[in-house]
Amino acid sequence: MEGRITKISNRQKVSVAFSVSRGICGKLAKYLALQFEREVLIMVYSPSLGSSITNTRMRTPDHLSPFSGMCAVCTYQCTGMCEIGLSALRGSEAIYPYQTDVNQFASEKDYPLDFSHLNINGRVFGAFGCPADPSAATFPKADINSTFGLLHPVPLLAPIVLPAMAKLNWRDYFAGAALAGVVVVIGEDVVAKDKELQSRGGKVCSSPLLKEMVGAFRKHHRGYGDIVLQANYDDEYLGVLDYAIGSLGVESVELKFGQAAKGIQGMGRVEKLEDALRFKRMGYLVNPDPEDPAIAEDYEKGIGPVFEKIGKLPMWDRAGLVARVRQLRQLGAKRVCFKTGPFDPADLREILRIASEARVDLVTFDGAGGGSGNSPSKMMNEWGIPTIELESVIYDMLSNMKSRGLAIPQVAVAGGIAMEDQVFKVLALGAPHVPLVGIGRAAMAAAMVGKQVGEMVSEGNVPREFRRFGETTGELFSGYRELRAFYGEKAMEIPCGAVAVYSYLGRISAGLRQLMALNRKFTLQEIRRRDVVPLTPIAASVTGLLTYSELAAEEE
Q: Are residues 227 and 184 in contact, defined by beta-carbon separation less than 8 angstroms?
A: yes
Distance of alpha carbon 398 from alpha carbon 409, whole angstroms: 9
33 and 112: one domain? no
pLDDT of 420 strictly over 80: yes
Distance of alpha carbon 487 from alpha carbon 38, whole angstroms: 58
Check whether the bond before 432 is cis (ω within 30° of 0). Answer: yes
Q: Are residues 371 and 441 in contact, defined by beta-carbon separation less than 8 angstroms?
A: yes
Question: Does residue 53 fall inside a structural domain?
Answer: no
pLDDT given for residue 382 in this prediction: 86
Question: Per residue in 394-410, pLDDT tens?
Answer: 999 999 999 999 999 99
Question: Does residue 359 fall inside a structural domain?
Answer: yes
Question: Per residue in 423-465, pLDDT tens?
Answer: 999 999 999 999 999 999 999 999 999 999 999 999 999 988 9
193 and 299: one domain? no
pLDDT band of 331, cuts 50, 70, 90: very high
Share of residues in the chain with pLDDT > 70 (%): 90
142 and 159: one domain? yes
Please report, for the domain that includes residue 365, its CATH number. 3.20.20.70
Which element (helix H / strand E) includes 28?
Answer: helix 26-40
121 and 189: one domain? yes
pLDDT band of 555, cuts 50, 70, 90: low
490 and 374: one domain? yes
pLDDT band of 369, cuts 50, 70, 90: confident
Question: Does residue 74 fall inside a structural domain?
Answer: no
302 and 321: one domain? no
Question: Does residue 49 fall inside a structural domain?
Answer: no
296 and 252: one domain? no
Structural domain that includes position 296: 276-310
Lowest pLDDT segment from 172-176, 193-197, 249-253, 376-380: 376-380
User: What is the SS3 assignment for 144?
Assistant: coil
Task: Tell me the pTM.
Answer: 0.89
Distance of alpha carbon 193 from alpha carbon 212, whole angstroms: 13
Length of the chain: 556
pLDDT of 263 strictly over 80: no
Question: Per residue in 491-549, pLDDT tens?
Answer: 999 999 999 999 999 999 999 999 999 999 999 999 999 999 999 999 999 999 999 99
pLDDT given for residue 326 in this prediction: 98
282 and 345: one domain? no
Question: Does residue 506 fall inside a structural domain?
Answer: yes
In 170-226 the beta strands, taken as DSSP E runs, fall at 183-186, 198-200, 203-206
Average pLDDT for residues 287-307, to the nearest whole number?
93
Q: Which DSSP category does 265 fall into? A: P
The CA-CA-CA angle for residues 298, 302, 304, to 5°, reads 60
pLDDT given for residue 235 in this prediction: 95
DSSP characters over 400-432: HHHHTT----EEEEESS--SHHHHHHHHHHHTT
CA distances (Å), 427 to each of 115, 436, 510, in order? Answer: 12, 7, 15
464 and 436: one domain? yes
Strands 160-165 and 307-310, by their bridges, are unpaired
pLDDT given for residue 275 in this prediction: 94
501 and 444: one domain? yes
Question: Does residue 51 fall inside a structural domain?
Answer: no
234 and 355: one domain? yes
SS3 content of the chain, % helix, strand, coil (to 5): 45, 15, 40
Count of structural domains, the chain? 3
Question: Does residue 69 fall inside a structural domain?
Answer: no
User: What is the SS3 assignment for 207?
Assistant: coil
435 and 530: one domain? yes
Question: Does residue 335 fall inside a structural domain?
Answer: yes
